[in-house]
């Protein structure tokens, strides 16, 4: 089955710093890949996605590119803000109902 491994945290950054969170996947076939985010006191929500190789997902200044050759989907943001403090989850799916999540990375951005 599918599985996802993501960089362990926690990660603490200063405002305007560059953020990268590594994520690699294992799967039979070519899964869809996602980054979900959980802000304090809120439910998980989709941040961005890519459904095939070389696709780039982007949202709120975050980007991730589906790399088949390295089985990776690393999350990046060039200049983080305090409001980006959250837990970030990498996930994959090969069907229409089951997501496989990584363990999550807690990001704290200091002013």
Partner 1 sequence: GAGVSQTPSNKVTEKGKYVELRCDPISGHTALYWYRQSLGQGPEFLIYFQGTGAADDSGLPNDRFFAVRPEGSVSTLKIQRTERGDSAVYLCASSLMGQANTGELFFGEGSRLTVL
Name the site residues for partner 1 (rule: CB under 8 A): 4, 31-32, 34, 36, 41-46, 49, 51, 89, 91, 93-104
Nearest distance from residue 90's CB to partner 1, in Å? Answer: 8
Q: Which is nearer to partner 1, 17 or 101 (CB)?
A: 101
Residue that is written with structure tokens 């305007």 in the block: 16
Give the other-Cβ count within 10 Å of 78's Cβ: 12
Q: Is the dihedral of CA 24, 20, 47, 105 positive or negative?
A: positive
Nearest distance from residue 65's CB to partner 1, in Å? Answer: 16
| Residues with Cβ within 8 Å of residue 42, at least 6 apart in sequence | none
- Distances in whole angstroms, Cα of residue 32 to Cα of each of 16, 23, 29, 111: 30, 13, 10, 35
Q: Which is nearer to partner 1, 5 or 71 (CB)?
A: 5
Nearest distance from residue 94's CB to partner 1, in Å? Answer: 7
Q: Which is nearer to partner 1, 4 or 109 (CB)?
A: 4
Q: Which is nearer to partner 1, 17 or 99 (CB)?
A: 99
Instruction: Report DSSP state, residue 36.
Output: E
Nearest distance from residue 27's CB to partner 1, in Å? Answer: 12
């Amino acid at each position: 089955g599918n599985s996802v491994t993501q960089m362990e945290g926690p990660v603490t950054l200063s405002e305007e710093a560059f953020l990268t969170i590594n994520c690699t996947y294992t799967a039979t076939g070519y899964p869809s890949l996602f980054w979900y985010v959980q802000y304090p006191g809120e439910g998980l929500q989709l941040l961005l996605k890519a459904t095939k190789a070389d696709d780039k997902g982007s949202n709120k200044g975050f980007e991730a590119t589906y790399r088949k050759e390295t089985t990776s989907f690393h999350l990046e943001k060039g200049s983080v803000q305090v409001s980006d403090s959250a837990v970030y989850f990498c996930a994959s799916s090969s069907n229409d109902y089951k997501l496989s999540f990584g363990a999550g990375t807690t990001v704290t951005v200091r002013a």
